[in-house]
Structure 1
Amino acid sequence: MDYLTYKFKLYSRCDRNRYLHHEINDFAGVYNHFIALHKRYYQRFGKYPNKYALMKHLKKLKDTTRFAPWRLLPSQALQNVIERIDFGYQKFFARDNKRPPTFRSRLRYQSYTLKQAGYKFLERNKVRIGKRVFRYHKSRDFDVESIKTVTIIRDRAGDLWLCVVAKAERFKQSIVKNGKTAGFDFGLKTYLTASDSTRTQSPLFFSRNARKVKKANRNLSRKQKGSKNRHRARINLARVHRRVANQRRDYHWRLAYQLCEEYD
């Protein structure tokens, strides 16, 4: 049994979605608070605090009047924010990241994770998050009883997604070998060059959509900062970039499947 991640899009035209947007914004505030706490602790003591000590401190903060709104947020998701920051610092200490975790605006903070509690999948394509029921585009089935985590993600276009990590059985397929093998070289002008001289040209999805990207960027630059028109223009630009990213992802999977079918 392996764990697989299933990604589903929530229905976009739903008034309840603003509840999830507000929650993500609240988690951004929690994240920035503990980033500031990390920095102050290092300036005073010359070291970084332990994540378990921060979780105890989080419990004390929730009992105060100032941070009373945090009581409405899922407790395990709050702890996961501290775990994310600690993981970022560990990656920085191991020199995997160039810089430690830093502050994020509400626009750039994109997700929070629920573990054992805070959600329940209902019949068909409905899920209860907190006390509200949401509908999502259920493109495939998964084992509801073996869910490990559920992550609510907000992309740059403002759409909400469910990422469900659950157990799944991998089907063992009988592989028919044809005796053909090849090595591949990645290039800038030619996307892939095989050892048998077969060439795969790059589809250049960004170049194909360059006019749309330029137009969306131009519309965004002409809008007044802080206005609703600028907000709509920013979402339009994000959708254009998302389309390019989706085209690339689809092409990579199709090409990988084609090469696996053609070669051993």
Structure 2
Amino acid sequence: MKIHRAYRYELAPNRMQRVMLAKHAGVARFAYNWGLARRIALHEEAGQSTNAIEQHRELNRLKKTDFPWMYEVSKCAPQEALRDLDRAFQHFFRGLNEGRKVGFPRFKKKGRDDSFRLTGSIRVLDNAVQLPRLGRIRLKEKPYVEGRILSATVKREADRWYVSLATETEIPDPVPPSGEPVGVDLGVSWFLTLSDGTKIKAPKPLRRYLRRLERLSKRHSRKKPGSRNRRKSALALARLHRKIRNIRQDFLHKVTTELAKTKRAIVMEDLHVRGMVQNRALARAISDMGFGEFRRMLTYKCAWYGSELIIAPRFYASSKTCSACGYVISELPLSVREWTCPACSTRHDRDINAAKNLLRIGTASSAGSDACGDPSGGAALGC
């Protein structure tokens, strides 16, 4: 089967290449902001819309007279930026039609949105990557890329440049792993609780570096705008944010890969993360976990390795349902981590019990019965 896979490497550009990378990012950012402003003006003046193709033609007509400096970079940078803008508007209007709250496309800012995408002749060498108009740029590690390269996305994070190579490759149909199916309960105290009793803690990098982050943010706010010291403090702050993100991403990649490679079927709950972060007492802790990213990674890795990902109904009462007899208690506050079933007197660990219930309804739904494992529609289980 065909899959899309990305390979990410850190670049080691020289001084001239850093200037060219910054120019490409600047042109892409300018094209995106120009296109967004034109769309807003067109809608306000005539109530009309446009698309990426029309805007690219208009921008090409203006290059010779108004923006001659755009010829210094590859034509792909502004073209792909306008395509990104087109997709942003498509997602926005799709969300409105579906009744979801989706933010309106926002203008990009220098220092925060420094990225661009290139297509065309892209080659991976022994210790470098060759990009259109940028030439050969050395990598900090030996690359390994399989498949046909579709595009290269270059992004700056703090003071470092990274390239992500999107590829399309043909792989044999994966053989499902031999491991037993598991139910997965996500939480804040324990990031992951499996139905077999395994519990995994998250590194919680934001909580670990919160005091340092607050201190650097305070120092940054006191620097004079436009000064060299403010640029230094901004760089230190960006480096810390990058470190926090890398720790979280590394943990999520390792956990999802292990699950997808070893478990035949994985059942997890359909968490409404956007609603969960409305709880002011838990918003920071929930955001530090990365539940949405965990599900995204697990989705494509299960397809790669042949395991099955089953999503349980969002309102299934997995924690309040006894995994031994099916009794559902009326109330179970978050502070209660263990409870005893009034019907069968079974003592439950809250998280393990929820994982067992998720496994039960997941295996029942994959067998062709109701998603909650109850032919009557799951009312008895609190679905």
Residues 25 and 109, structure 1, Cα contact 8 Å, conserved in 2: no
Q: RMSD over aligned Cα, in angstroms?
A: 2.6
User: Separation in 2 of the partners of 1:176 and 1:100?
Assistant: 42
- The SS at the match of 1:100 is coil
Q: How many residues align?
A: 259
Larger CA deviation: 81-90 vs 250-259: 250-259
Residues 25 and 116, structure 2, Cα contact 8 Å, conserved in 1: yes
Cα pair distance change 1:257/1:166, threshold 3 Å: closer
The answer on 1:154 being equivalent to 2:147 is: no
**Superposed displacement of residue 235, structure 1:** 1.2
Q: Structure 1 counterpart of 2:4, which letter?
A: Y
Alignment-derived partner of residue 274 in structure 2 = none
Q: Structure 1 counterpart of 2:44, which letter?
A: Q
Alignment-derived partner of residue 141 in structure 1 = 144
Alignment-derived partner of residue 10 in structure 1 = 11
Q: Structure 2 counterpart of 1:137, which letter?
A: K
Residues 143 and 166, structure 1, Cα contact 8 Å, conserved in 2: yes
Higher relative contact order (CA 8 A, sep 6+): 1
User: Separation in 2 of the partners of 1:97 and 1:71?
Assistant: 39
**Superposed displacement of residue 81, structure 1:** 1.7
**Superposed displacement of residue 6, structure 1:** 0.9
Residues 127 and 142, structure 2, Cα contact 8 Å, conserved in 1: no
Alignment-derived partner of residue 116 in structure 1 = 120
User: Separation in 1 of the partners of 2:263 and 2:5?
Assistant: 26
TM-superposition CA deviations, 1:41-76 (whole Å, max 9, x none) = 101111211332222212211232x22122233223
- What is the aligned-residue identity percentage? 22
Residues 113 and 150, structure 1, Cα contact 8 Å, conserved in 2: yes
- The SS at the match of 2:36 is helix
**TM score, norm. by length of structure 1:** 0.85
Cα pair distance change 1:26/1:56, threshold 3 Å: closer
**TM score, norm. by length of structure 2:** 0.61
Cα pair distance change 1:173/1:121, threshold 3 Å: closer
- Stretches of structure 2 that go unaligned for 5 or more consecutive residues are 265-383
User: Separation in 1 of the partners of 2:172 and 2:234?
Assistant: 42
Cα pair distance change 1:48/1:227, threshold 3 Å: same
**Superposed displacement of residue 158, structure 1:** 3.0
User: Separation in 2 of the partners of 1:212 and 1:2?
Assistant: 41
- The SS at the match of 1:16 is helix
- Stretches of structure 1 that go unaligned for 5 or more consecutive residues are none
Cα pair distance change 1:82/1:198, threshold 3 Å: same
Task: Map residues 11-26 of structure 1 onto 2, 5 A cutoff.
Answer: 11=12, 14-26=15-27
Q: Structure 1 counterpart of 2:130, which letter?
A: V
Q: Which has the larger radius of gyration?
A: 2
